[in-house]
Amino acid sequence: MRKIDIEDIKNSHIIPNTKVKREDVENAINHVLTQLDLNIAYFGTQFPSSATNKNVYSKIDNIEWTDGFYTGMLWLAYEYTNNPKYRDVAEQHVNSFYHRILHEIEVDHHDLGFLYSLSCVAAYKLTGSAIAKKAALLAADKLITRYQAKSKFIQAWGKLDSQDHHRFIIDCMLNIPLLYWASEVSGNNIYAEIANNHFETSLKYVIRDDASAYHTFYMDMLTGKPLKGVTRQGFSDDSSWARGQAWGIYGIALNYRYTKNEKCFHFYHAMTNYFINRLPKDCICYWDLIFNDGDNHFKDSSSAAIAICGINEMMRYLPETIEDKAKHLDAANSMLNSLIKHYLNQDVVAGGCVLLHGVYSWHSGKGLDEGNIWGDYFLFEALLRYIKDHEIYW
Ligand code: GLY
């Protein structure tokens, strides 16, 4: 098995035995629900844009890669409160997602896991909905059409017969759980086989020897051999985009959940230590991990929320023999305390975000120091994880 570097954790901002108070989590959830209630009235059958403008989302149709996060929040709200008002809207969304996949509307990319796990797999798990199951299986069928058999990966974007697009990205770690789920419910192992091949390719190439992640990685179409790592959303090709690192942490934990592949522990451990060592004073990372306090760059709160969920998920499985396990929990608790105390949007208005200070895409100037809908989703998922045995939708 490939071994990568596991740094010692040496971040003095992470205080041993940090706890999260149940009362703080409950208050934060109530805050999320207050915002969500306003947003349900505001968005009607539409969806929030991927990122905010001055912390307010605009209204969009079901055409973006991010639309599942809002539906996922409705399912989290339903799971927590049992109030049918959340389920009613979420079920309308499920119909919309069914329509989207049936008519192939903006589905020629790999983000079908983000879209369909949180909307339709969640619906199926919570309510047994037949249409949700059908939609999610159709999405899994579509996702495997992007599999490049020679190079053994699922292609992120673009035409499937072009070397310019022959690459996969670390984010896809969160798309492939849809495939493991599809194999479980259909009994057809092809989805899991493809997911597993993609996962193995990711462990080989998209994670560097120092345990940081490339954002994207190109393979040679003709030979199937690795070419090079290149960034799209990180600062540079050799920096570590914070959200990419967080996608890696959570993605590995979710892959372990399905595969029980013990190799996951090594990669998870190394990537998490790398992430923790680069947390600044308030424990919320900058948008790229090369930045720290004093560099005059933006935070990305969404990366923290994703990493908390990943660490929390892996806490269930990580052997006690991994000494850093307690430090990982301290870091997750510190991050959650910081998000609750300093990053919740107190300005509760129609269309508003929950979590402040995210970065969508620095190079294209999108969503800089703004809310984003996946940040809101992962914060809510993290909070629920701290309060109940949450039904994982991934
Ligand atoms: N998956 C795209 C992003 O994290 O911005």
Q: Please, what sign has the CA dihedral across residues 31, 34, 40, 41?
A: negative
Question: In terms of Cα–Cα distance, which of 63, 45, 157, 160 is closest to 105?
Answer: 63
Q: How many CB atoms sit inside 10 A of residue 212's CB?
A: 24
- Indicate which atom in ligand 1 lies nearest the CA of residue 374: 4
Under 8 Å between Cβ of 219 and 167: yes
For atom 5 of ligand 1, the residue with the nearest CA is 360
CATH number, domain 22-385, options 3.30.70.940, 1.50.10.10, 1.10.1060.10, 3.40.640.10 = 1.50.10.10
Amino acid at 367: G
Burial of 319 (0-12, 13-18, 19+ CB in 10 A): exposed
Q: What is the pLDDT of residues 302-357, one digit of tens each?
A: 999 999 999 999 999 999 999 999 999 999 999 999 999 999 999 999 999 999 99
Residues 230-236: contacts with CB within 8 Å, 24+ apart?
230/167, 232/169, 232/363, 233/361, 233/362, 233/363, 234/288, 235/288, 235/290, 235/291, 235/362, 236/290
Which tokens is 42 given? Answer: 């505001």
364 pLDDT band, cuts 50/70/90, is very high
Rounded CA separation 213/242 (Å): 9
Under 8 Å between Cβ of 228 and 214: no
Rounded CA separation 253/239 (Å): 23
Given this model, what pLDDT does residue 121 score? 98
Given this model, what pLDDT does residue 341 score? 98
Under 8 Å between Cβ of 48 and 39: yes
Percent of the chain with pLDDT over 90: 100
Rounded CA separation 172/250 (Å): 11
Under 8 Å between Cβ of 382 and 312: yes
Rounded CA separation 297/272 (Å): 22
Q: Which of 111, 282, 300, 330 is catalytic?
A: 111
Collapsing DSSP to helix, strand or coil, 75 comes out as: helix
d(CA 306, ligand 1 centre) in Å: 11
Query: Partners of 56 in the beta sheet?
Result: 53, 352
d(CA 11, ligand 1 centre) in Å: 27
Q: Which of 67, 171, 300, 324 is catalytic?
A: 171
For atom 2 of ligand 1, the residue with the nearest CA is 171
Given this model, what pLDDT does residue 47 score? 98
Q: How far is CA 7 from CA 56, 164, 290, 294, in A?
A: 39, 35, 16, 23
pTM: 0.98
**Residue 171 annotated to the active site:** yes
**Residue 8 annotated to the active site:** no
What is the phi/psi pair of residue 326, to 5°?
A: -65, -35
Q: What is the pLDDT of residues 152-198, one digit of tens each?
A: 999 999 999 999 999 999 999 999 999 999 999 999 999 999 999 99
Rounded CA separation 369/387 (Å): 29
d(CA 66, ligand 1 centre) in Å: 9
92 pLDDT band, cuts 50/70/90, is very high
Q: How many CB atoms sit inside 10 A of residue 281's CB?
A: 10
- Indicate which atom in ligand 1 lies nearest the CA of residue 169: 1
Those residues with Cβ within 8 angstroms of residue 258's Cβ, 6 or more apart along the chain or in another chain: 177, 180, 181, 184, 192, 195
Rounded CA separation 153/382 (Å): 29
Given this model, what pLDDT does residue 79 score? 98
State the residue for tokens 């052997």: 319
Given this model, what pLDDT does residue 234 score? 98
Average of per-residue pLDDT across 126-148: 98
Under 8 Å between Cβ of 83 and 109: no
298 pLDDT band, cuts 50/70/90, is very high
Given this model, what pLDDT does residue 193 score? 98
DSSP string, 156-181: -SS-TT-GGG-EEEGGGGGTTHHHHH
Q: What is the pLDDT of residues 264-273, one digit of tens each?
A: 999 999 999 9
Q: What is the pLDDT of residues 46-91, one digit of tens each?
A: 999 999 999 999 999 999 999 999 999 999 999 999 999 999 999 9
Length of the chain: 394
Amino acid at 116: Y
Question: Which residues does a 6 A CB cutoff place in the pocket of ligand 1?
Answer: 171, 233, 243, 360
Average pLDDT along the chain: 98
Q: How many CB atoms sit inside 10 A of residue 127's CB?
A: 15
